[in-house]
Homo-oligomer: A and B are copies of this chain.
């Protein structure tokens, strides 16, 4: 998907919501455990119920991997289901990959060749040649970790170097030598509030994938206020707050309600973009 297409989807749906499919076998409604593929059964209903309120889905690989090959099958079915039924959804492999060149090449094959994701999250620690193999696929995206939503983000990401530049700023700057904002986004945690202003100094035009709204405590209004650009430039993820809104047979309806609430709030902020045109 191109950047322009993603932006058009956002305007049409009046939403920049990404629904995180952190599907945990221990948290899904108990009646689904009778299904032969409980994770997929859950995802399918969540997707059908929420798809009109969001523009992206983000399966979190860890949750599927914890069930081995069986979880992998649930994940593959989920991606195929979204791709066939809702082709305008942007599908993110939240996998935090990154390794030496020949190995990143294999990770890229996994998400872009074998599966048909639009984007993959990548950790920057190993530098340029760990990221580039993901960029050879046209219209596929790398979403590079910049400033994450967790407490541990302070351990290394905020350390200033000898020129006073913090590590996440260095990542933002350096990685722009590798490709353009047509193939790269950055992960910036919603819990970082006003730091979005700093991020936008370095990456005014990039899309940012923003986790941490909801269960992790980030404010959507702050993110929109400090993070939005003229093509919206935000994909805000919510996982637990939406997909685990309810634990009964009505879980999908409750998920839809939660997604709709977020979408309605987002439509207000999107006026800032359309009014500025």
Contact = CB atoms under 8 A, between A and B. Distances in A.
A123 B125 CA distance: 7
Contacts of A72: 68-69, 72
Contacts of A96: 97-99, 123, 126
A114 B125 CA distance: 27
Contacts of A148: 100, 125-126
B62 A68 contact: no
A128 B103 CA distance: 25
Interface stretch (A3-11, A151-159, A268-276): A151-159
Q: Among the interface residues A60, A155, A216, which one has the most CB atoms of the partner chain B within 10 A?
A: A155
Nearest to A77: B69
Given A96-B99, A126-B152, A127-B150, A107 B174 contact: no
A76 to B, nearest CB: 6
Given A69-B73, A72-B72, A96-B97, A170 B156 contact: yes
A198 interface: no
Contacts of A162: 160-162, 164
A162 B159 CA distance: 8
Given A126-B145, A128-B155, 14 more contacts: A66-B107, A68-B76, A69-B69, A98-B123, A100-B211, A101-B150, A124-B156, A127-B151, A127-B155, A127-B157, A155-B174, A156-B167, A160-B162, A162-B164
A85 to B, nearest CB: 20
A183 interface: no
A200 interface: no
Nearest to A212: B100
B65 A107 contact: yes
Q: How large is the interface on A (under 10, 10 to 19, 20 to 34, 35 or more residues)?
A: 35 or more
Nearest to A216: B100
27 contacts: A22-B102, A62-B97, A62-B104, A62-B110, A63-B103, A65-B107, A66-B106, A66-B109, A66-B113, A67-B114, A69-B72, A94-B99, A96-B98, A96-B126, A125-B145, A126-B150, A127-B150, A127-B152, A127-B157, A129-B150, A129-B151, A130-B152, A131-B152, A156-B174, A160-B161, A161-B162, A167-B167
B76 A69 contact: yes
Contacts of A171: 156
Nearest to A151: B129
